Structure 1
Amino acid sequence: MFEDANKFVEYKDLRWSGILKSIKKSANIFQPLFEGFTNSLEAIRLRQRNNVEFAPYINIILNFNASLGGNRVTLADITIEDNGIGFDNKNFDRLSIYKDDTKGFNNRGSGRIQMIHSFQYVNFDSIYWDGTRTMKRKFALSKTNPFLRKNTILYKTEEPSPADGEEVKTTVKMAHPIEAKDAKIYAELGCEDIKKALFNHYLLAFCNIKSSFPSINIIYFVGGIEKDRERIAADEIPEPTQKDITISVPVCKMSEDMKRVENVENTSVSINVLPYKISSSILPASAIKITSKNEISETTKIKLTCIDPNASLNGYRYLFLLKSDYFDALDSDERGNIEIIDKTDFKKIAKAQGYIDEQIVLNDIQDGVNNKAREIYQEISIQNEHFHEKIEQLKRDYLLSEEALADVSLCDSVDEVFKKAYAYDAKIMAKESASYENSIQNLNNLDPSSDDYQGKLSNIVDQLVESLPIQNRATLSKYVARRKMVIELMDKILKRMLVCQDATERNVDEKLLHNLIFKQHSDNPLTSDLWVINEEYMYFKGSSESMLSKVKLNDERIFRDDFDEEEQRYLTSLGENRERMRTDVLLFPSEGKCVIIEFKNPNVNLADCLLQISKYAYFLRNFTKPEYKFLTFYGYLIGESLEKRDVRAADGDFKTAPNLDYLFRPMKTVPDDSGSNIDGSLYMEVIQFSVLKERAELRNKAFIDRLMDNATESDNIGERV
Structure 2
Amino acid sequence: MEGIKYIKGIGIWYQRELNTIKRKDDLFLQPIFEAFTNALESISIQKEKYQLTEQGEISINVFLTKNLFSKDTTSYDFQKIIIEDTGLGFEDSEYERFINLRDDRKGFSNKGTGRVQFLHAFDKTTFDSIYKDKNSSTGFKQRLITLSKCEAFIQKNAIIRLDDEKEVKSDKPKTVITFETLLNQKDKDLFKTITASEIKEALIRHYLAGFCEQRNNLPLIKINLLIDNSVSTELSILPSDIPVPNQEKEIDIHYSRIDGNDIVKSSKKETFKFKSFIVPESELDKNGLKLVSKGEVAKNIKLDNLLPSDQINGNRYLFLLSSNYIDERDSDTRGNINICKKKDFKKNEGPVLFSEEEILLEDIEEKSNLVIISLYKEIEEKRKEKERSIEELQKMFLLNPKTIESLHNKINIGDSDDVILRKVYEADAKIVASKDAEIKQRIKELDNLDTTKDDYQEKLAYQVDEFVKVIPIQNRTALTQYIARRRMVLDMFDKILKKEIEKLQKGERINEDLLHNLIFQQHSDKPEDSDLWLINEEFIYFRGTSESKLDNIEIEGSKIFNKEFTKEETEYLNSLGEKRLSKRPDVLLFPDEGKCIIIEFKAPDVNVAEHLSQIDFYANLIRNYTNDRFQINTFYGYLIGESIEDRDVRGRVSRFEHSYHLDYWFRPSETVVGFENRSDGNIYTEVIKFSTLLKRARLRNKIFIDKLEGNQ
- Distance 1:690-1:254 versus aligned 2 partners, 3 A rule: farther
Alignment partners' CA distance in 1, 2:257 and 2:576:
82
Tell me how many residue pairs correspond in the alignment: 490
> For the Cα contact (< 8 Å) 1:203–1:237, is it kept in 2?
yes
- Distance 1:104-1:255 versus aligned 2 partners, 3 A rule: same
Which amino acid in the other structure matches residue 586 of structure 1? Answer: L
Alignment partners' CA distance in 2, 1:594 and 1:273:
65
Q: Equivalent residue for 1:204?
A: 209
Q: Which moved more, 1:36-45 or 1:335-344?
A: 335-344
Among 72, 82, 87, the residue aligned to 1:84: 87
Q: Equivalent residue for 1:285?
A: 286
> For the Cα contact (< 8 Å) 2:153–2:159, is it kept in 1?
yes
Q: Which moved more, 1:325-334 or 1:139-148?
A: 139-148
Q: Equivalent residue for 2:54?
A: 54
Q: Equivalent residue for 1:689?
A: 615
Aligned pairs for 1:542-691 within 5 A: 552=501, 556-557=502-503, 579=507, 581-583=509-511, 586-587=514-515, 654-657=578-581, 688-691=614-617
Alignment partners' CA distance in 2, 1:52 and 1:686:
84
Which amino acid in the other structure matches residue 51 of structure 1? Answer: Q
Alignment partners' CA distance in 2, 1:134 and 1:261:
57
Alignment partners' CA distance in 2, 1:655 and 1:302:
66
Deviation readout 1:391-430 (Å, 9 max, x if unpaired): 887899899999x999999856399x9xxxxxxxxxxxxx
Alignment partners' CA distance in 2, 1:365 and 1:406:
28
| Residue 246 of structure 1: how far off its partner (Å) | 1.9
Q: Equivalent residue for 2:671?
A: none
> For the Cα contact (< 8 Å) 1:544–1:583, is it kept in 2?
no
Deviation readout 1:483-524 (Å, 9 max, x if unpaired): xx99x99xxxxxxxxxxxxxxxxxxxxxxxxxxxxxxxx989
Alignment partners' CA distance in 2, 1:580 and 1:408:
44
Q: Equivalent residue for 1:214?
A: 219
Across the aligned residues of Structure 1 and Structure 2, the Cα RMSD in angstroms comes to: 5.1
Q: Equivalent residue for 2:669?
A: none
Deviation readout 1:253-273 (Å, 9 max, x if unpaired): 3342x3x3332x312232111
| Residue 285 of structure 1: how far off its partner (Å) | 1.9
Alignment partners' CA distance in 1, 2:351 and 2:113:
31
> For the Cα contact (< 8 Å) 2:128–2:145, is it kept in 1?
yes
Alignment partners' CA distance in 2, 1:79 and 1:23:
24
Q: Which moved more, 1:137-146 or 1:225-234?
A: 225-234
SS in 2 for 1:35: helix
| Residue 64 of structure 1: how far off its partner (Å) | 1.9
> For the Cα contact (< 8 Å) 1:136–1:162, is it kept in 2?
yes
Alignment partners' CA distance in 2, 1:548 and 1:333:
65
SS in 2 for 1:383: helix
Which amino acid in the other structure matches residue 44 of structure 2? Answer: R
Aligned pairs for 1:276-675 within 5 A: 276-298=277-299, 301-347=300-346, 357-386=356-385, 413=411, 552=501, 556-557=502-503, 579=507, 581-583=509-511, 586-587=514-515, 654-657=578-581
| Residue 381 of structure 1: how far off its partner (Å) | 3.9
> For the Cα contact (< 8 Å) 1:307–1:383, is it kept in 2?
no
| Residue 58 of structure 1: how far off its partner (Å) | 1.4
SS in 2 for 1:41: helix
Which amino acid in the other structure matches residue 115 of structure 2? Answer: R
> For the Cα contact (< 8 Å) 1:523–1:544, is it kept in 2?
no
Q: Which moved more, 1:404-413 or 1:7-16?
A: 404-413
Whether 1:180 and 2:180 are equivalent positions in the alignment is no
Among 160, 165, 169, the residue aligned to 2:166: 160
> For the Cα contact (< 8 Å) 2:102–2:111, is it kept in 1?
yes
Q: Equivalent residue for 2:67?
A: 67
| Residue 332 of structure 1: how far off its partner (Å) | 0.8
TM-score computed with the length of structure 2 as normaliser:
0.58
Deviation readout 1:20-66 (Å, 9 max, x if unpaired): 12212221211111111111111122222233243522111111232
- Distance 1:392-1:85 versus aligned 2 partners, 3 A rule: same
Alignment partners' CA distance in 2, 1:142 and 1:351:
32
Q: Equivalent residue for 1:189?
A: 194
Q: State the identity %.
A: 27
Deviation readout 1:582-634 (Å, 9 max, x if unpaired): 545535769xx989xxxxxxxxxxxxxxxxxxxxxxxxxxxxxxxxxxxxx99
Which amino acid in the other structure matches residue 93 of structure 2? Answer: K
Which amino acid in the other structure matches residue 262 of structure 1? Answer: V
> For the Cα contact (< 8 Å) 1:191–1:218, is it kept in 2?
yes
SS in 1 for 2:211: helix
Q: Equivalent residue for 1:236?
A: 241
SS in 2 for 1:239: coil
SS in 2 for 1:34: helix
Structure whose alpha-carbon radius of gyration is higher = 1
Alignment partners' CA distance in 2, 1:328 and 1:354:
17
Alignment partners' CA distance in 2, 1:334 and 1:285:
24
**Which consecutive unaligned segments of at least 5 residues does structure 1 have?**
418-484, 490-521, 528-537, 562-578, 596-632, 637-647, 663-684, 704-721
- Distance 1:694-1:13 versus aligned 2 partners, 3 A rule: farther
Alignment partners' CA distance in 2, 1:215 and 1:374:
37
Alignment partners' CA distance in 2, 1:549 and 1:179:
56
SS in 1 for 2:158: coil
Q: Equivalent residue for 2:116?
A: 113
| Residue 223 of structure 1: how far off its partner (Å) | 2.5
- Distance 1:374-1:155 versus aligned 2 partners, 3 A rule: same
| Residue 373 of structure 1: how far off its partner (Å) | 1.1
Which amino acid in the other structure matches residue 213 of structure 1? Answer: L
Q: Equivalent residue for 1:130?
A: 133
> For the Cα contact (< 8 Å) 1:204–1:295, is it kept in 2?
yes
TM-score computed with the length of structure 1 as normaliser:
0.58
> For the Cα contact (< 8 Å) 2:549–2:583, is it kept in 1?
no
Alignment partners' CA distance in 2, 1:5 and 1:695:
103
Deviation readout 1:226-277 (Å, 9 max, x if unpaired): 223333222010121233x122223223342x3x3332x3122321111222
Deviation readout 1:307-363 (Å, 9 max, x if unpaired): 344222223221111111111111111000113344345446669999975322222
- Distance 1:540-1:309 versus aligned 2 partners, 3 A rule: closer
Q: Equivalent residue for 1:670?
A: none
**Which consecutive unaligned segments of at least 5 residues does structure 2 have?**
422-449, 461-485, 524-546, 551-571, 587-610, 633-712
Which amino acid in the other structure matches residue 24 of structure 1? Answer: K
Alignment partners' CA distance in 2, 1:695 and 1:344:
59
> For the Cα contact (< 8 Å) 2:196–2:233, is it kept in 1?
yes
Among 168, 171, 174, the residue aligned to 1:169: 174
> For the Cα contact (< 8 Å) 1:141–1:153, is it kept in 2?
yes
Alignment partners' CA distance in 1, 2:380 and 2:496:
59
- Distance 1:691-1:324 versus aligned 2 partners, 3 A rule: farther
Whether 1:19 and 2:17 are equivalent positions in the alignment is yes
Q: Equivalent residue for 2:150?
A: 144
Q: Equivalent residue for 2:232?
A: 227
Which amino acid in the other structure matches residue 32 of structure 1? Answer: P
Whether 1:249 and 2:253 are equivalent positions in the alignment is yes
> For the Cα contact (< 8 Å) 2:127–2:175, is it kept in 1?
yes
Alignment partners' CA distance in 2, 1:201 and 1:70:
30
Alignment partners' CA distance in 2, 1:143 and 1:351:
30
Q: Which moved more, 1:170-179 or 1:335-344?
A: 335-344
Alignment partners' CA distance in 2, 1:332 and 1:351:
13
Deviation readout 1:270-322 (Å, 9 max, x if unpaired): 21111222222211122100011111113xx4221133442222232211111
Q: Equivalent residue for 1:275?
A: 276
